[in-house]
Chains A and B, each alone.
Chain A
């Protein structure tokens, strides 16, 4: 099809504003999916995405739209995640597009990630089409929200379509707008091939499958391609698109968005952001890639069964293909054995990676509590980056420690401003600014330590504002803080994987909360286990896990055997997920205790 009839676009939105539902309707209206195959969130192919109702991975589909002008248009729709942790995925999708549909909930209005995503789209020079969703809700205020978009973001909303993605109302108008308002790609088929790799997955039969947006030239089966960053060359075995069924094609040309397979077994040679060109007629320059996203949160991942270290390594490598923001390197813990220190964009990202490793690779994992990167200025004048509390040098060798701060922008209804400010203060936040957005909402800006934000800030923000506040944050710099390492001792032995770095003023409370939480999480064992929290050699909190005295002492007659055995089987499954550290059996969740404890206790 002529390139002037191609439209490449993404849908961007704050989480839950109806992005995936709109994608579903677009698929239906373009007859891409037969009714009997249609299910909600059809582009979200991971079980995890459907269960949580969120999009984690970007997804690209090719659709044919028969427009009102009588002509057919080829759409490449790239669905994107909405959560702040996955903004990297969003920026990758956007680089493959010329336009974006901005979905805003007509009842909730502009939220923090609406703005963050718009800025990303603008950085990529995309044309943005604002759309108001959920206008059929009784609480919808499309006009108020339009004014908000104009004021806050500066987008003209006079022609914004008002839709209900759920019922399908006016979605046909959105398709027409895509045809008339979004630009066609402007690539040149005759130029040397430049294909931007924006995602990749590993297939057991086909090897690495790279998702590409063809910016110039064409790519055929039988071509020898070169990955410009790694220099690796491969013979193309298959190319195609997803409609959303996987469909093979003879070639992809400038303006197309599709996939390429070339029997690539060495997964390290394909990096997302790289440019593919032809070996015998290479482009002179690679396309601008993406700015590498730096992980914000680090945690150790260990197999419960040490023998599965290599499996974990292989799984991480495969997952990284599909999730370029994931970083990892080997580390060793006295308590947990051999594992990996992994870098994540945020806690949700960490959670998703852990769950994908467990589900897709059938691994049983222990994750340690997450940490940020501390810059440790030592007395000998050197500076070291520490992403694992256990690796902190002895205090006498430390001059001072700096920790990462973020600028948090919080949109919050007026009546919750006070509550929100309290929360930010508790999290060691420094007040920067407070501005009216409109009659009902304000924008609150704080500088806060990242370590406080990643813990339970999001949950607390949601619960203390009935879900009305939203926030986004950016790294703002390192600051000096009075930080200390808090060690946990079980049965008198320090457990390195349980160490955390805390602010001096919080050390006592955290230590106390940790020991109480661990006492709850670690089951009673044959002997009494002291649980202690220590700063250096000073014990600051202590409790005991009493020795096991009795189990359930019920009758067991013939009819009880099956039922009782099922209960024991369940206990066994729980026990398989425990790690033996010294002589103490510790359940997985204990290593994350710091995330679930209540400081206020």
Chain B
């Protein structure tokens, strides 16, 4: 049984300059999309319910795009498609942008069982927000946190971006101060990345990003958040009081998940899949799945597993992929030995290792040949 579901809401009221996700600005198509999504969820879940009456998800994650651009009625419709599969222990997350959340919407989320909100704050520098093409102000960022807390949400997460062209450590430190003031249990941090095909990638080049400075920023964030009581449990995730994002933790631990909606990716027994390429094709055939051509699930498990402080369960990996981890990858472990930690049958990276995960992963790929 697949314990998780990801629902992709591919709509935004404005497009951020750095974003490479599937999205569009045609909010007038939301209703048609909801029709297709409803059909997809019904057709996918009916056989599951027949086999396992009373089936419930462990985690549901509504991401985007911007799920909060849906109006109240659309929000209700979306959540009602999923609420039959949620129970009190389900971790149910929704992503939101500060400018499109109001009390009614937040209360609607609560009403249906959403218990975690991830807010795209990104930075408290007003000029940077404009540069990035974000539609919110720093006051809206502060207000939305207060509002969500008032509505009873205890599990809140904010995105923090760093490594902007020209950003200094002073600027970053000031930004961290503002994020800490929010007093929330989870932060997702990530450096600005130039993705092919984005507006930002046309405006600046890799040369505008200082590799050493962003490395220092990463380390600064790590030190300051730890000091403030956050635990660095995954490369880009920090939690207080063990308030880990369970949905992503399951994915990182080699888990399976449904992907619903155009732009969503899922993973089942046949591997990783996506939906039809274009939005129109999805509306036409919401059940169409495109599986990854060259699959390498044994590697996927390492690529995601090594991102977390818990690492990879070596025995489980051996059993699942019918291979011997230590004999296959001994050379990689030897080369990077100071960056690995082994505990309780699990292999994980230390802080130094996490910083150069990609280089280590390339060596894993080489060793697979």
Contacts and interface: CB of A to CB of B under 8 A. Distances in A.
Contacts of B215: 549-550
Contact of B212 (A549, A562, A569): A549
Contact of B307 (A549, A550, A556, A558): A556
Contact of B251 (A548, A549, A557, A576): A557
B193 A559 contact: no
Contacts of A559: 6, 8, 21, 259, 263-265
A111 B236 CA distance: 62
Given A565-B303, A572-B366, A553 B190 contact: yes
25 contacts: A526-B335, A548-B356, A549-B355, A550-B214, A550-B215, A551-B357, A553-B190, A553-B236, A554-B236, A555-B236, A556-B252, A556-B307, A558-B248, A558-B257, A558-B266, A559-B6, A559-B259, A561-B272, A561-B304, A564-B303, A565-B303, A568-B303, A568-B358, A568-B365, A575-B362
Interface string B85-101: 00000000000000000
Interface of A: 526, 546, 548-559, 561-562, 564-565, 568-569, 571-572, 575-576
Contacts of B264: 559
B299 interface: yes
Contacts of B63: 557
A561 B265 contact: yes
Interface of B: 6, 8, 21, 63, 188, 190-191, 193, 211-212, 214-215, 218, 235-236, 248, 251-252, 257, 259, 263-267, 272, 274, 292, 296, 299-300, 303-304, 307, 335-336, 355-359, 361-362, 365-366
A549 B211 contact: yes
Cβ-closest 8 pairs across A and B: A551-B358, A549-B215, A559-B265, A550-B215, A550-B355, A572-B365, A555-B236, A571-B362
Nearest to A571: B362
B300 A565 contact: yes
Given A548-B356, A549-B212, A562-B272, A555 B303 contact: no
Nearest to B273: A562
A568 B362 CA distance: 6
A5 to B, nearest CB: 58
A420 to B, nearest CB: 34
A28 to B, nearest CB: 42
B194 to A, nearest CB: 10
A122 to B, nearest CB: 54
Nearest to B193: A554
A569 B365 contact: yes
Contacts of B292: 562
A561 B251 CA distance: 10
A555 B160 CA distance: 11
A575 B366 contact: yes
Given A552-B191, A552-B193, A558 B267 contact: yes
A575 B266 CA distance: 30
Contacts of A553: 190-191, 214, 218, 235-236, 355
Given A555-B236, A559-B6, A571-B362, 20 more contacts: A546-B212, A549-B211, A550-B215, A550-B218, A550-B355, A551-B356, A551-B359, A553-B190, A553-B191, A556-B235, A556-B304, A558-B248, A558-B251, A558-B259, A559-B8, A559-B259, A559-B265, A561-B300, A562-B265, A565-B296
Contacts of B336: 526
A568 B306 CA distance: 15
Nearest to B258: A558
A475 B267 CA distance: 66
A548 B336 CA distance: 12
Contact of B358 (A549, A571, A576): A571
A545 to B, nearest CB: 12
